[in-house]
Structure 1
Amino acid sequence: MPQTAPSTATLILISALSILSLNMFLPSLPAMAEAFDVSYAVINVTVSGFFIVTAVLQLIIGPLSDRFGRRPILLIGLILFTIASCIATFADHLAVLLAARLVQGAVIVGSVISRAVVRDLYPPQEAAGTLGQIGMVMALAPMLGPLFGGVLDAVFGWRASFAAFAIMGIGTLLLCWFDLGETHTKRAPTFLAQFRTYPALLGAPLFWAHSLCLTFAVGAFFVFLSGAPLVVQPVFGLGSAGIGAVLGSITGGFAFGNFLSSRYATRYRLSTMMIAGRLVATGGMTVGIIGFAIGIESLWLFIPCVMSVGLGNGLTLPAGNAGALSVKPELAGSAAGMSGSLQVAGGALFTSIAGVILARFSSPTALMGLMLALILAGLAMALWVRIMEHAAD
């Protein structure tokens, strides 16, 4: 077993795998529906079911890693993901494919453990800087994943993406086996002893303020991804490629925001970075809503305003994650799992609400209004963090 802490590259790769496993195979959904002779709604369970499983698993993975260590839980999760990917590759029945896809949700272990490991290794502000570095590279995964998956589907068919998952799983497992040493050394001797420490985390307003700020920030991102295709095509007359470019614009802003976090998180308080991110996003959305309200319905106004949300999230998320994991450092895994699960659940809820509203009021102004509401809620949580910090000083 390696005795050294993992490299940042290893943490990036295990985090990226959890994102690629969600979106890389999306271009294959129509072919999968045709292959199993089912509707698109049925095959879409491979997406919605995956979301549900990852939300639940994060609540389990975090506490397990606090009790037994980061390394064994990560390796077990990667093994399950790899086996499930192999089964999905050769699945001849829909039930087998769906079951394997749900087991693939174990890959969320990479997202939870990577954040916990960073907090094990660094104090809060340095952790935020490192999370910014990881996020900067990670922002490429949502853009490149579907592109790579589309090429695989076109050349080899829908099974190729799952075969690629299996290969990635094996490679990542070997990398972690040799590079990722145990970083959590202050473990409770029993689950009962660990359970007794949970009230200090779950009863801490500071933990919930950080986690809710993250949830609202991520919620605005999900609302945009789900709502933009409904409004940009009829208003701006864009084709699929144009819609893809608009969706990618928010990710570009997110990458730059993470770059700024990696540079400045060690110089400023975490709450300062969180508030700055919320103010940037607030400013961008406000300008966009005002512009469209007075008749400037331009794509060249819409895109910069959307990018401001990505930029704001890039400033907020590393600091917010570092803050949530620092409330009770010995329970960083549990904090990572709980906050991550809350973000997934919140994203699903906000997306559903946005779908209902945008189905009736399909306009960029309505979309930006929904995003602004979530951004302002996140700003309130960031200000709450600052107030509690001042009270503790």
Structure 2
Amino acid sequence: MPMRSPPPLPGVSEPLRAPPRRPPVLALIAISALSPFAINVVVPSMPAIEQAFDADYSRVQLILSMFLAAIAISQIFVGPLSDRFGRRPILLIGFTIFVAASLLAPFAPTIEALIGIRVIQGAAGCVGIALGRAIVRDLFDRSQAASMLGYVTMGLAMAPMVAPTIGGLLQESLGWTAIFWLMAALGGLCLLVTWRLIPETNFRRTAALSLRSLFADFGQLLRRRDFLLFTGSSSLTTGVFFTFLGGAPYVAERILGLRPSVYGLWFALLPLGYALGSFLAARFTERFGVSRMILAGSSLALLAVATLLVLSLAGFSGPAALFVPMGVAGMANGLALPSAVSGAVSVRPEIAGAASGLSGAAQIGMGAILSAVGGAALAASSSALPMFVIMTVAAVLALFVALAIGRRNQPRGA
């Protein structure tokens, strides 16, 4: 289907350009997958990093939670910058900085230095996942964008699926520094993909960029109840996953006694489930609507984490009891997230970059907070029960938000 450039809007500059060329889906998957891969690939090495720097686990866990916080904060600015200057230049700059930070990481002299480098990695590498969504919204309306994001996230799920396995194998064979050399290479690949395959898609540039205009755009979004609901849904759904991500290495090694490579293989159930859920979202969102897909995903997520909680209380603690329900939770995320993200960035299409940035910041920010809380709760406990309780609370709240979205959109048949 030929793509058409959206019509100009009041107050938005419209350079005379040809209609945007549609980038290959695989290119969007590649740039969007870098940050999720960088999050997960380092997780199996966290106990080894703890030993290498003689640091306690709560400090080492900051290489995960601070990475997530950097993604959250950076997206606030990345989106509006791309609204003003275009998607492509911001992608190129971000990936260049990511590569530089990855090359520095193996030479970090202290755990604090490594945490700082991870902050730079997260802030720069988030351009792919933030602007991948905005590029999709540049080219599609809300329902089509949700379906397209389903296909993109289905492929994107492959990155976190293989990341812990690759990280575990590299850790056992070459040590934790090899993981950062790999990230530098993958960042370079994303830089090349952007340069060769991703054209500019934002032809409705905002006329000016200032803190005043930035916060004015955010104010418009935050006054829209539908934006708040869609963002709340994506944030809480993501929060369930990142609570698990923050504590899973501790549970796997200290409680279950799994090697990093074995942990990586079990962890593959999560993104495999996510890929299945994203495939179903891509196939059925236009038929059933975004609100029903969000409700289905949120309901399934609550069922999965409630199963985790019940199994833990019943004394079941093997890897299957931990990872199989989380695979179902991954599928739930795949069902709900494309529609929630598409809904958030479609509220005001002319500032889709700002919407993507603010929604993404809330989403990853919630993940960072719950990841840190989950890790801290585990450090003070001899079981995984505190982590499961936090995940269940987040899932319950996500279901309430999904019900509110359904009530709000039902009159319009969403």
TM-score, scaled to structure 1: 0.86
In structure 1, what is the Cα distance between the partners aligned to 2:378 and 2:45? 27
Task: Provide closer, same or farther for how the CA distance between residues 47 and 308 of structure 1 changes in structure 2, counting only shifts above 3 A.
Answer: closer
Root-mean-square deviation (Å): 3.2
1:149 aligned partner, one-letter code: G
Q: Is the 8 A contact 2:78 2:90 kept in 1?
A: yes
- Per the alignment, do residues 316 and 323 of structure 1 end up closer, same or farther by CA in structure 2, a change over 3 Å counting? same
Name the residue aligned to 1:239. Answer: 258
Q: Following TM superposition, by how much is the alpha carbon of 1:202 offset from its aligned partner in structure 2, in angstroms?
A: 1.7
Q: 1:287 to 1:78 in 2, by over 3 A?
A: closer
Superposition pairs of residues 30-69 of structure 1, within 5 angstroms: 37-41=53-57, 44-69=61-86
Structure 1: runs of 5 or more not aligned: none
SS at match of 2:83: helix
For the pair 1:125 / 2:143, whether they are aligned, the reply is: yes
Could you list the per-position Cα deviations for residues 340-374 of structure 1 after superposition, in whole angstroms to 9, with x for gaps in the alignment?
11122212322344455556776566654432322
1: CA distance, partners of 2:97 / 2:401: 37
Q: Which residue number corresponds to residue 7 of structure 2? A: none
* Aligned CA distance change for structure 1 residues 163 and 242 (closer, same or farther; 3 Å): closer
Letter of the aligned partner of 1:167 in structure 2?
A
- Aligned counterparts, 1:45-194, within 5 A: 45-89=62-106, 91=107, 93-94=109-110, 99-105=116-122, 106-191=124-209, 194=213
Q: 1:29 to 1:197 in 2, by over 3 A?
A: closer
Give the match for residue 251 of structure 1: 271
Residues 362, 250 of structure 1: CA spacing in aligned structure 2 closer, same or farther, 3 A cutoff?
A: farther
Amino acid at match of 1:277: G
Aligned residue identity for 1:74? L
Take 1:367 and 1:32, find their aligned partners in 2: how far apart are those partners? 22
- State the identity %: 34
Structure 1 contact 4–179 (Cα < 8 Å) conserved? no
Q: Corresponding residue for 2:40? A: 23
Aligned to 2:342: 322
Q: Note the residue ranges of structure 2 that are not aligned, 5 or more in a row.
A: 1-16
Report what 1:370 is aligned to: 390
Decide whether the 8 Å contact of 1:5 with 1:182 is kept in 2.
no
Deviations 1:298-349 (A, max 9, x none): 8566654333322211100011000001101111111111111112221232
Tell me, in whole angstroms, the C-alpha distance in 2 between the residues paired with 1:92 and 1:391: 56
1:202-249 deviation digits (Å, cap 9, x = unpaired): 2101101011111111111122333456667898x5634665555433
Give the secondary-structure state (helix, strand or coil) at the position aligned to 2:80: helix
Give 1:378 deviation, angstroms: 0.8
For the pair 1:349 / 2:369, whether they are aligned, the reply is: yes
Q: How far, CA to CA, are the matches of 2:62 and 2:323 in structure 1? A: 31
Local SS of the residue matching 1:266: helix
Distance 1:167 1:351, change over 3 A: closer
- Answer with 368-377 or 240-249: which moved more: 240-249
Amino acid at match of 1:13: A
Q: Distance in 1 between matches of 2:109 and 2:375?
A: 32
Task: Give the Cα separation in 2 of the matches to 1:289 and 1:48.
Answer: 24
Q: 1:198 to 1:289 in 2, by over 3 A?
A: closer
Q: After TM superposition, give the deviation of residue 8 of structure 1 in Å.
A: 0.8
Q: What are the superposed Cα offsets for residues 136-188 of structure 1, whole Å, 9 maximum, x if unpaired?
A: 22222223223323444455454333232222222221211121111111122
Q: CA deviation at 1:382?
A: 1.4
| Cα distance in 2 for residues equivalent to 1:153 and 1:365 | 28
Counterpart of 2:9 in structure 1 is none
Residue 288 and residue 340 in structure 1: after superposition, are their counterparts in 2 closer, same or farther (change >3 A)?
Answer: same
Separation in structure 1 between the aligned mates of residue 199 and residue 394 of structure 2, nearest angstrom: 39
Change (3 A) 1:325 1:142: same
TM score, norm. by length of structure 2: 0.82
Deviation for aligned residue 1:278: 1.2
Q: Which residue of 1 aligns with 2:234?
A: 214
Deviations along 1:27-46, one digit per CA (max 9) or x if unpaired, are: 445665666x5425555544
Equivalent-residue separation in structure 1 for 2:80 and 2:171 (angstroms): 38
Q: 2: distance between equivalents of 1:389 and 1:271? A: 7
> Hey, what does 1:275 align to over in structure 2?
295
How far apart in 1 are the matches of 2:271 and 2:115?
29
Q: Which moved more, 1:332-341 or 1:160-169?
A: 160-169
* Deviation readout 1:101-145 (Å, 9 max, x if unpaired): 332220111110101111111111111112111222222222322
Aligned residue for 2:27?
Answer: 10
Gap change, CA 1:202 and 1:226, over 3 Å in 2: same
C-alpha distance in structure 2 between counterparts of 1:202 and 1:45, whole Å: 29
